[in-house]
Structure 1
């Protein structure tokens, strides 16, 4: 390492400082393409590599293995301050393994991959990332290379999607969102099944993301079985939309779970079959049903709704009666808990946030591209979920009473 010290001492920092100031005054940038720092980084790296080679040769002699230098190789490397041609020393035996710049390393800035992933996470296209890195840092990185970097997410995503989960989730919300993906020369629709859980601490977390061609109760059955294999033994309340067969799929895997059908979905579906001139009056009467103080009052208002509107809209009234058992579960709970479980708005809000990251994509080039961006969006969104649900201490104590023995909270 002595040569390293001698070479560094020979470097005239005063002269470099004067030249740097002149270049900056003339308009040459400090960083980026043709930045004035680039020659300094090149020289310091080559000095360090020479020092590593000297140490390696010395070690070989100490081990009784004669070795010597054998010229240098050149390669273009990229850093956050520009690209340059780096000369790396070689040894005759080919045993030199440099540490500061490894043999096949062409990007020196360790944070570059993270920078690319961060840009990708905010839904920038590969082409836009390429232009950004060229403009800001003078780095020419192809869209194909950026794709390779973002592919590093795939094993991380696999691990995240299969991570162990809590044994009990007091509340889960299950829903699907749909995207377009290019597949074998055509654009097809894919469903992303997402499960948002409220854990025992009252914090939201995405406990499952699954991909399928369409939303269906059969696929949901596989999703729920996967949750069980990952450690979820019990779900107290499952809030879902009106997908046919969904309650049966949940009951198959979690027979003790109470299923709450989304009241907001039911209202939307009802209004589809009510003519516009009747919708305002119909909603005033329907509001008496779902905003009733208790289930008995709600059922009385539902009968009154049927008497007034049943002849004109029999299918709508029938739908409320058919689904009433799963629509009315929330009436048994106090107001704080009702507001959370009577609708799937929480997970729909999550989906709206995801679409802020995906809205610029007309169709994804592959399923992997879709999953990478969904994963990045999830991580960004969950960063903000750092507080428990409002009034969770009160809600948790009520859940302990309603689900005696199934929810064991640690008292701190």
Structure 2
């Protein structure tokens, strides 16, 4: 989550700088009115409610006239950024919903074109992550759903399904996040989540840790030896 938060904030900051200067990085236009250009970066640590401290790189301009909006100067604490990041990286979010998130954060401080560029960059990073290959075997996989606020015309709570894997050498990884429409957790949707993990290379899980939802509709998937993940070995 710290990595996701860092990527989202830095993407927005860099696109804000592009709008401020009027040209993209390394593409300064000849004959422009201002001689102002990018002038490196400075490190800054922000504190979020969801993941604690996150170190980000804030772009600087030569004339020091850049006023970032997503992380303002001297701002250290960011509220509600955790829910935004969770929803942005959940498979199933539409481009319009992602754009609405950034529009809400920035208000009228940046143009629609900048919001579009931020959205396109985040969507590209998100798609690369949600499709990455996974380990074939995990010692444990934890699955659960949490409710996050999503704005698309109006604010509504929507469930994000998350799978956290523990590798055989003890490392914890976020395997994926999936979003569906309003409503509670459902066995059929969990099946689609597990099939997605299987399609990305997972062949076996020693322990599947969940709230027991799968036991009622899928009792045949719970052998005495261990709780195997439906949609993986038994699919």
Greater RCO (Cα-Cα under 8 Å, separation 6 or more):
2
TM-score in terms of structure 2 length: 0.50
Q: Select the structure that is richer in helix.
A: 1
Q: Select the structure that is richer in strand.
A: 2
- Which of the two has higher C-alpha Rg? 1
TM-score in terms of structure 1 length: 0.31
